[in-house]
């Protein structure tokens, strides 16, 4: 971590964020981050507990004279999305994040930064560390495995939290208050395929589709970015028809909640078709670059000669597989009628990966309408069934229904207007926030979410705006004083 990162304001917040960057914490591997929270609580002489799921809760008494204020829960998740560029060597379970300052932004070198939700965690710790902030009774809830399963939120038991106001610190645009979010659903499909020996008169290549931006499958799904799995399949389907291409293996995407940026396939073509393959690659790259102009700028697609694989998919299996990936829906399905700038329902074809016997296919569906989410899931199940793939729906979590009469919403709107001379935007987000899940066991809490400006989460382009973090901090502390 650059020393200058430690000198950013507010120092306490950036100090804790820097410490989190040094702690590997991909989803389901947050143990060290949880230990950091526990050690912090002990050092600050604060009451804390770890629940049966692995969530950490710490408590801080009210400032003298504010004991009668409503209790506030600050909440953030400990895990981060582990995404890196293919040319970067980084082990997310062992290596620290290499964060650096670039003008008004903090970025990471070739990997996700973890500002989602490390900034929220750091802000809560800075509040609990402060000796001069004014506030009522405080609790902080640090959840595990938000990014891959909402496990911490789902397993949080009733009765552990005492507060009546719940502030989620996991939103990503300064000046916006979020009071609702989409629910989610995982679709996991296995397509079994038959293999046969590769022909003797063929040339083998690894197709490498790289350089797409990817991004958050909720926040960025409406930006029209390329999906590496859909683009690779489009080429394979056409080349199989036109020049006898055969697929040996495929590996695209690695996170269900990230738009896939890269896809790799081992293929063969008849020896006489090598030049035609290269021509088709060049033509395809030109076509998709033109289609995605203004959205994607660094797309790259090449064929690298490799040793001939022992087997390829049988003709029948390959035909069904390529048809299936072509048919599975991807992207925005519907916008919210009353809020046409907000996505209602979407799907992200996130992972397509073969293992020699079957292809694993994963999608993450999001919708603020549960019935629409279920219908879309059923449509993908039906599509997969036609191709002979077995499919499971799992990990469903509810959306968060907006409450426009929320007391904390009214308070935070007044605080923002007083401090900055304008009213913050009130929004519903097409992403999964944990508030909707917490409402199951804590239905009487008053929920809201806000945060600083973070661009391109879930991708190596992730970056957090430094001035917005300072503004986020001032707004948070003034809110705690005012509640």
d(CA 432, CA 219): 10
109 vs 323: CA distance, rounded Å? 38
Catalytic residue among 116, 145, 146, 446: 146
Contacts of 472 (CB under 8 A, 6+ apart): 119, 123, 174, 450, 451, 452
Distance of CA 64 to the CA centre of its chain: 40
Contact 445, 164 (CB under 8 A): yes
* C-alpha neighbours within 13 Å on the C-beta side of residue 180: 19
| Residue whose pair of structure tokens reads 């495995």 in the numeric block | 145
Instruction: Supply the angle between the helices 11-21 and 31-43 in degrees, to the nearest 10.
Output: 140
For residue 245, give every residue at least 6 positions away whose Cβ sits within 8 Å of its Cβ, in sequence order, or none.
236, 239, 267, 268, 269, 277
Burial of 439 (0-12, 13-18, 19+ CB in 10 A): middle
Find residue 319's DSSP bridge partners.
none
Concatenated DSSP letters of 223-286: G-PPPHHHHHHHHHHHHHHHH--EEEEEEE---TTEE---EEEEEEEEGGGHHHHHHHHHHHHH
**What single DSSP character describes residue 55?**
-
Contact 334, 345 (CB under 8 A): yes
Residue 26 DSSP label? B
Q: Are 28 and 148 in contact (CB under 8 A)?
A: yes
Hey, what long-range contacts does 276-281 have (CB within 8 A, 24 or more apart)? 276/242, 276/243, 277/205, 277/239, 277/243, 277/245, 277/303, 278/303, 280/235, 280/238, 280/239, 280/242, 280/243, 281/207, 281/235
**Cα–Cα separations (whole angstroms), residue 24 to 57, 100, 111, 159, 259:** 20, 17, 12, 31, 22
State the Cα–Cα distance between residues 346 and 343, nearest whole angstrom. 7
**Catalytic annotation, pick one of 30, 79, 170, 173:** 79
Q: Cα–Cα distance between 58 and 47 in angstroms, integer?
A: 6
| DSSP label of 160 | S
Q: Measure the CA–CA gap between 161 and 57, rounded to whole angstroms.
A: 8
Could you confirm whether 374 is annotated as catalytic?
no
Q: Determine the angle formed by the axes of helices 274-291 and 228-243, rounding to 10 degrees.
A: 140
Task: Confirm whether 275 is a catalytic residue.
Answer: no
**Helix, strand, or coil (residue 114):** coil
Q: Active-site residue numbers?
A: 79, 146
């Amino acid at each position: 971590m650059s020393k200058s990162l430690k000198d950013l304001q507010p120092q306490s917040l950036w100090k804790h964020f820097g410490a989190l960057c040094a702690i590997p914490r991909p989803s389901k591997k947050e143990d060290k981050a949880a230990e950091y929270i526990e050690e912090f609580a002990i050092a600050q002489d604060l009451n804390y507990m770890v629940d049966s799921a692995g969530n950490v809760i710490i408590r801080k008494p009210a400032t003298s004279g504010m004991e009668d204020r409503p209790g506030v829960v600050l909440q953030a998740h400990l895990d981060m999305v582990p995404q890196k560029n293919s040319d970067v060597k980084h082990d997310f379970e062992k290596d620290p994040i290499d964060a650096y300052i670039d003008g008004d932004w903090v970025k990471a070198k070739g990997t996700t930064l973890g500002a989602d939700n490390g900034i929220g965690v750091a802000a809560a710790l800075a509040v609990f560390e402060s000796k001069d902030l004014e506030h009522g009774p405080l609790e902080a809830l640090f959840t595990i495995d938000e990014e891959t399963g909402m496990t911490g939120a789902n397993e949080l038991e009733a009765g552990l939290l005492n507060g009546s106001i719940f502030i989620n610190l996991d939103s990503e645009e300064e000046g916006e208050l979020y009071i609702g979010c989409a629910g989610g659903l995982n679709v996991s499909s296995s397509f079994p395929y038959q293999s046969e020996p590769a022909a003797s008169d063929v040339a083998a290549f690894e197709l490498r589709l790289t350089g797409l931006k990817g991004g958050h499958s909720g926040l960025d799904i409406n930006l029209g970015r390329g999906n590496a799995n859909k683009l690779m399949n489009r080429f394979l389907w056409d080349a199989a028809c036109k020049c006898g291409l055969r697929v040996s293996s495929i590996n695209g995407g690695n996170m269900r909640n990230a738009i896939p940026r890269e896809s790799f396939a081992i293929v063969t073509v008849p020896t006489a078709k090598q030049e035609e393959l290269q021509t088709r690659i060049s033509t395809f790259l030109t076509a998709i670059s033109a289609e995605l102009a203004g959205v994607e700028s660094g797309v790259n697609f090449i064929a690298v000669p490799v040793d001939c694989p022992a087997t390829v998919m049988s003709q029948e299996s390959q035909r069904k597989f390529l048809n299936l990936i072509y048919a599975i829906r991807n992207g925005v399905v519907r916008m919210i009628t009353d809020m046409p700038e907000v996505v209602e329902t979407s799907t992200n074809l996130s992972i397509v990966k073969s293992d020699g016997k079957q292809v694993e296919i994963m999608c993450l569906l999001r919708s603020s309408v549960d019935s629409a989410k279920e219908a879309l899931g059923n449509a993908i199940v039906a599509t997969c069934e036609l191709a002979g793939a077995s499919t499971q729906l799992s990990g469903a979590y509810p959306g968060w229904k907006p409450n426009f009469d929320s007391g904390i919403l009214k308070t935070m709107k007044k605080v923002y207007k007083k401090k900055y001379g304008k009213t913050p935007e009130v929004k519903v987000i097409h992403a999964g926030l944990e508030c909707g899940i917490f409402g199951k066991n804590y239905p009487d809490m008053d929920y809201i979410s806000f945060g600083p400006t973070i661009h391109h989460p879930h991708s190596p382009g992730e970056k957090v705006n430094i001035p917005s973090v300072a503004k986020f901090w001032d707004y948070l502390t003034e809110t705690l004083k005012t509640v």
